[in-house]
Every structure is written in C-alpha cells, then in structure tokens.
C-alpha cells in the first residue's frame, strides 16, 4: 500500500494514492559515489528537472539522507535516498557537456565550469594557499583550506548573494569536489563588506564549512574556503585544479602541491 508521494517509472505499483507519480521518469544520474558519502557508497542523484526534487511529504524525519546530508535542502525534502542542493539551471553545449550537473558528459576531462564554453567570461585563477589533509580512504576525516584570487579586475561586480556559486576541485584521480551553492545561502553582513557562506554541519556543500568572497578597493576578487570531515581519500597526487563560478563568470587555476610527510599536501 502506498502512503503517497512515490515515483514509479512504470505502472506496477497499484493502487496509487494522492501524490504518487506512475509512468514518470525520475531523471536520476548514474550510480556512483556522490560526496559527502563515504567512497564505497554509491547513489543516484536526482538531476535538474527531476520530479523527485522537493516532492516528499511528511519530512523530516528522517533528518538526513543516505549520505548524511541534512534534509530538506530546498522548499521540501526530495523523494529517494539523496537530498540534492538547490538545483542550478543547466545548459547543454553542442559538444554534449551539460553545464551545472557536476558530470563530464562529453568525456573531454573538463567537468562543467572547467570548460570555458560554460561561462560567458573566464579568468585565470591565482592560487595563493592550499592545505589538503586527505585522511584515510573512504573516511570522512579530510581537511581542506583554499585561498585564491579569482580575477584582478574583471570580476569586481560579482555578487554571490544574487548569483549561485559553484566550487570544483580535481586532480588526475578525477573530480574530488563539485558543489553548487544557491545564492540564498550567501550573506553580506555589511553593505560593502565580504559575501560569506557558513554551515557548521558541512552538509550543504560537501564538507565545506566556510567560504568568503571579498572585493577590496583595488578591484581584485578574493576567495577563501575551508572544510573538514570531508572524503578526500582519493587525493594522492600532488596537483590540484580549482574552479570557482559566480553567476556566468568562472575562474580556474592549477598548482603543483608539495607533499609534506605522508599526511598533508600544501601550496606554496
């Protein structure tokens, strides 16, 4: 018997009640590891436009999804095992790459906003500082600190309280982090002060707890981020490519990190 608000790709679950969606494509991504869950946990994430998003009833409970992400992330909980962050509008390029779904759709090694075609304006990021403590493989014990200049002048009018933000990190082992943060999650406590994101739980941005975008008088755009209790066990190569998108503008930079002992990678 159904309690309502279930999705059935066919029509075998009968009888249906109010809120049930028979013969509906749930629009799920591939079965894969989707952080912040441990590396052995594979799930299928509702994609943009999925009828599962904000469609559950009587929720919470449970207070978290299968990966430990707080529910709800949007107006209501999502149907299924995965609670997605506020969905960023997606754009499909002629190459087949979909901008905004955190997947390398066209197989060129560049996911979403690493591809300049996904942005109307791109800039070369100047990475100032990186500290990565991977932690044990499959364990949520990694730590991350990142500081960078997104652009010297061209991004001086970006506003994360108006435009959504995407943060992507990868090395040769693949995508380490890809998260879209809705502009509603950013605050500017002072009119001319920095824009800040804060989440003590780390559930909203795959372990990132704090982020800040500052634009000093010289017009440069500075970005900092810090996270802990993250699954960074795949970080075993001394390089990092970071991408930050604000609205329709993106900044990407790569650095070679130094291996400080067996438990930490740093730059410079």
Q: How many helices (H) and strands (E) does the chain have?
A: 0, 17
H helix or E strand, kind and range, residue 210: strand 208-214
Q: Binning pLDDT at 50, 70 and 90, where does residue 14 land?
A: confident
Please compute the mean of the pLDDT values over residues 256-261 and round it to a whole number: 86
pLDDT over 70 (residue 89): no
Structure confidence by residue, pLDDT tens digits, 158-210: 999 999 999 999 888 777 788 888 888 899 988 778 999 998 888 778 889 99
Q: Based on the number of CB atoms within 10 Å of its own CB, is 257 exposed (0-12), middle (13-18) or buried (19 or more)?
A: buried
Note if the pTM is more than 0.75. no
pLDDT over 70 (residue 262): no
CA distances to 21, 122, 125, 129, 251 from 217, in Å: 53, 21, 19, 22, 20
Can you tell me the distance from the alpha carbon of 266 to that of 114, in angstroms, rounded to the nearest whole number? 22
Structure confidence by residue, pLDDT tens digits, 209-243: 999 999 998 889 999 999 998 878 777 667 899 99
Q: Residue 52's closest CA among 1, 120, 6?
A: 6
Neighbour-count burial for 6-43, b at 16+ CB within 10 Å, e otherwise: bbbeeeeeeeeeeebbeebebbbbeeeebbbbeeebeb
Can you tell me the distance from the alpha carbon of 259 to that of 111, in angstroms, rounded to the nearest whole number? 26
Give one word for 143, left, alpha or beta, with left for phi > 0 and alpha for psi -120 to 50. beta
Q: Residue 84's closest CA among 113, 59, 112, 52?
A: 52
């Amino acid at each position: 018997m159904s309690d309502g608000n279930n999705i059935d790709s066919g029509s075998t679950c009968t009888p249906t009640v109010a809120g049930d969606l028979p013969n509906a494509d749930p629009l799920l991504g591939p079965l894969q590891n989707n952080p912040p869950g441990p590396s052995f946990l594979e799930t299928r994430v509702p994609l943009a436009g999925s009828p599962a998003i904000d469609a559950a009833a009587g929720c919470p409970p449970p207070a978290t999804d299968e990966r430990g992400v707080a529910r709800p992330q949007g107006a209501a909980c999502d149907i299924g095992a995965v609670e997605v962050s506020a969905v960023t509008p997606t754009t499909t390029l002629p190459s087949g790459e979909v901008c905004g779904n955190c997947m390398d759709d066209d197989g060129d090694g560049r996911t979403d906003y690493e591809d300049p075609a996904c942005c109307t304006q791109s800039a070369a990021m100047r990475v100032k500082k990186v500290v990565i403590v991977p932690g044990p493989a499959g364990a949520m014990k990694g730590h991350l600190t990142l500081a960078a200049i997104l652009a010297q002048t061209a991004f001086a009018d970006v506003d994360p309280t108006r435009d959504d933000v995407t943060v992507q990190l990868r090395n040769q082992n693949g995508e380490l982090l890809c998260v879209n943060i809705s502009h509603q999650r950013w605050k500017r406590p002072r009119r001319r002060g920095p824009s800040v994101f804060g989440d003590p739980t780390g559930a909203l941005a795959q372990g990132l707890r704090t982020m800040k975008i500052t634009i000093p008088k010289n017009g440069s755009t500075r970005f900092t981020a810090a996270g802990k209790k993250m699954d960074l066990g795949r970080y075993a190569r001394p390089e990092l490519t970071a991408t930050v998108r604000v609205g329709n503008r993106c900044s990407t930079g790569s650095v070679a990190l130094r291996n400080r002992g067996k438990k930490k990678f740093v730059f410079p």
